[in-house]
Amino acid sequence: MNYLPLVPAPGCARVTAMTTPILLRPLLASFLLLTAAARAALPAPDADDGGISLPPGFRAVVVADNLVIDQTSGKNTDRLRFLAVAPNGDIYAKLHHGKILALRDTDGDGRADVIKEFGPGDGGTHIMFHHGYLYHSSRTAVYRYKYIPGELVPSSPLEVIVHDLPAEKDHDAKAFAFDDSGHLIVEVGSPYNVYSKPDRQFGAKGYSDEEVAKFQQTYGGFWSFDPDKPNQTQADGVRYSTGHRHSLALVWQPASKNFFMTMMGRDNLNIVDPEHYDALDNAERDAEEFHLLKPGVNLGWPFTYWDPIKQVRMRAPEYGGDNHRRDDNPAFDRPLLAFPAHWAPLQMCLYDGTQFPEKYRGGMFLAFHGSWNRAPRAQAGYKVVFIPFGADGLPTGDTAHGAGNYQDFATGFPGVDYFVNTRDARYRPSGVTTGPDGSLYISETERGRIWRVIYTGETMPAATRPPAPATAPAAKPLVGLETPGGKTFAQICAACHMPDGRGVAGMQPSLAGSAVVAGDPARLINALLQGPAAVLSPEREKFPVVMPPYGMAMSDADVAAVINFLRRNFAANASSVTAEQVAALRPKP
């Protein structure tokens, strides 16, 4: 007997009245009408797919653009982060520093024509629908609104589910997800690159096992909560996992009944231990790790990192590693898939729709924000990838060795093929989620563009894409790189401020044009010795990667040399400083 499929897939055998039992033919007719209406409701794609590249058969339309650009100054005012789509197709986008944007398409052309702001205004990253509520997180809390169908901006009161979560200078965004047994898990990331003293600096040494264990009672893992109980704190939660650096990509897979997540790998291998690691090691040898997240799992941070080239877990240099020493501790989980270093995984979603071909169903899409610290290599990532899963709800490929499968899905976001400075990239992906009709939605941080990706089956390529917009002019070649100050700049400063000194948008300030570099030499000396946070105005522009104090790691002559290099290249006519000036300002023990 032939059965009518509940959900037809593109490419499936056609179901017709001649192949369907008589009693089911009225149902078939109604179903085919609904299917035709659903396909007709898909928007017309943009001729160039909104400037991105997709696999054959897929097209894209820009739903909204310039959501974080001030219309007067043309400058970026915020960062667009994760996405959620309501059952009626309304889109909710989280702002990193501000509120939530609610977007609605009222005329069916695929573009949002109503945009509203709401929410507590304390920023954050994660947002999703679950069991009739819109949940979202800030740096310190998880909230929810009761979803009332048809409302764009919730009229229901804001409920606080978890509050007062730890949040320090780095890795403070709170990822969360739900299992099918009524549990909410929330990550408290580590505020360190590696838990060591000093952090991210030459000669950094890790803490003792006892100190790490105490630290991980509060940081570096997921905690489980009751999603329906208000006003919980971390003390009300149960630690679910540990050994994390920071993880934002988190999804529940219902077929296997498991959480899957991607952890952001470490930085600064060559800065911490230049004897055993060079810049190429730092650019390539510390993976972004994709794990099956079972209760009690330990991912090995801060003691280890995963080398995606060797496909083994390595001991971190802060804890005795030398680029050769493996760590085979069975307590530390092996990743199912190791992505290249520094790609910066952000939102991940389960594809539970039916619009896309069969091979996508049950798999996961993952948005990579792209690297900023792969110098001297070109920056990389800046894409959305697809991770195929089997019918068992587990990823396919050689997962026993961290070599599971993934495929590029959406690319072309930077608009340029080769670039070293992130400021030269046009778009940086951030959010990715599935809509109720099976469309895939993608957001990016820099301008605030949102794409809707649909499957049309078209085989003709999209129209030729326009050239990338002009980028800021490249800085002139730096002078004196062969000097002691230039070598210190290349070893330490360039890792964050970039080899050309132009910084990273939203991450690190540009040295060119910096009032601190060009201004009072005593203030600049103190900023290097004590760290900017201890010297500069609290009202200054803040950046997520905070420069540590270098007083213990550099001699007076080293500090003077790098300051003179900076002022020579980035502050015309600024006076030089001497080692004696540095010594006079160095804090006394």
Question: For 201-276, where are the E strands, in sequence order?
Answer: 205-206, 221-225, 238-239, 247-253, 258-263
Q: Mean pLDDT: which of 39-43, 186-190, 524-528 is highest?
A: 186-190
Distance between CA 143 and CA 242 in Å, rounded?
24
Instruction: Give yes or no for a contact between 343 and 353, defined as CB atoms under 8 angstroms apart.
Output: no
Q: Which residue has the tokens 């490249």?
A: 474
473, 475, 476, 481 alpha-carbon torsion, rounded to 10°: -160
How is residue 518 written in tokens?
């060009």
Determine, yes or no, domain membership for 359.
yes
53 and 36 belong to one structural domain = no
Q: For 486, which DSSP code?
A: H
Return the top range by mean pLDDT from 230-234, 548-552, 569-573. Answer: 230-234
Sequential DSSP letters for 86-146: -TTS-EEEEESSS-EEEEE-SSSSSS--EEEEES-S---S-EEEETTEEEEE-SS-EEEEE
Can you tell me the distance from the alpha carbon of 367 to that of 443, in angstroms, rounded to the nearest whole number?
9
Give me the pLDDT at residue 238, please. Answer: 97
pTM of the model: 0.82
**Does residue 162 share a domain with residue 91?**
yes
Q: Which residues contact residue 573 at a Cβ distance below 8 angstroms, ignoring those fewer than 6 apart? A: none
Question: How many domains does the chain divide into?
Answer: 3
The reply to whether 28 and 57 lie within a common domain is no
Q: How far apart are the first and last CA of the chain?
A: 86
Asked whether residue 452 carries a pLDDT value surpassing 60, the answer given is yes
Compute the distance between CA of residue 448 and CA of residue 454 in angstroms, rounded to an integer.
Answer: 20
Do 353 and 407 have their domain in common?
Answer: yes
Q: What angle do CA 510, 513, 514 make, to 5 degrees?
A: 65
Same domain, 82 and 21: no
Res 143: pLDDT: 97
Q: Which class for 166: exposed (0-12), middle (13-18), buried (19 or more C-beta within 10 A)?
A: middle
What pLDDT sits at residue 536?
A: 85
**How many CB atoms within 10 Å of residue 565?**
24
**Residue 139 CA to its chain's centroid (Å):** 15
Q: Is residue 463 in some structural domain?
A: no
Could you tell me if 447 and 65 are in contact, meaning their C-beta atoms sit under 8 angstroms apart?
yes
470 vs 6, more confident: 470
pLDDT digits (tens, 9 = 90+) for 151-201: 999 999 999 999 999 998 789 999 999 999 989 999 999 999 999 999 988
CATH code assigned at 538: 1.10.760.10
Half-sphere exposure of 453 (CA within 13 A, CB side): 24
Is 82's pLDDT higher than 80? yes
Same domain assignment for residues 25 and 63: no
| CB burial string 275-290: b at 16+ within 10 A, e below | eebebebbbbbbbbbb
| Structure-token match 């032939």, residue found | 2
In terms of residue numbers, what domain contains 31?
Answer: 1-40
432 and 568 in a single domain? The answer is no
Q: Is the pLDDT of residue 36 over 60?
A: no
Residue 479 lies in a domain: no
Q: Tens of pLDDT along 279-306?
A: 999 999 999 999 999 999 999 999 999 9
Confidence of residue 6 (pLDDT cuts 50, 70, 90): very low
Average pLDDT over residues 80-87: 97
What tens digit of pLDDT does each residue of 108-150 get? 999 999 999 999 989 899 999 999 999 999 999 999 999 999 9
Could you give phi then psi for residue 95, rounded to 5 degrees? -95, 140
Cβ partners under 8 Å of residue 113, min gap 6: 104, 105, 106, 107
pLDDT band at 19 (very low <50, low <70, confident <90, very high): very low
- Do 454 and 434 form a contact (C-beta atoms < 8 A)? no
Give the model's confidence band at 423: pLDDT under 50 very low, under 70 low, under 90 confident, else very high: confident
**Residue 130 falls inside a structural domain:** yes
Q: 66 near 450, Cβ under 8 Å? A: no
- How much is the pLDDT for 588? 81
Same domain, 366 and 492: no
Q: What is the pLDDT of residue 474?
A: 54
Q: Which residues contact 335 (CB under 8 A, 6 or more apart)?
A: 287, 289, 290, 291, 306, 402
Q: Kindly calculate the radius of gyration of the chain based on its CA atoms and give it in whole angstroms.
A: 25
pLDDT at 37: 41
Q: Where is mean pLDDT largest: 63-77, 215-229, 447-461?
A: 215-229
Using the predicted structure, report yes or no on whether residue 323 has a pLDDT greater than 60: yes
Co-location of 245 and 363 in the same domain: yes
What CATH number did the domain enclosing 192 receive?
Answer: 2.120.10.30
Q: Lowest mean pLDDT: which of 21-30, 84-93, 130-139, 470-479?
A: 21-30
**For 357-393, what is each residue's pLDDT tens digit?**
999 999 999 999 999 988 888 999 999 999 999 999 9
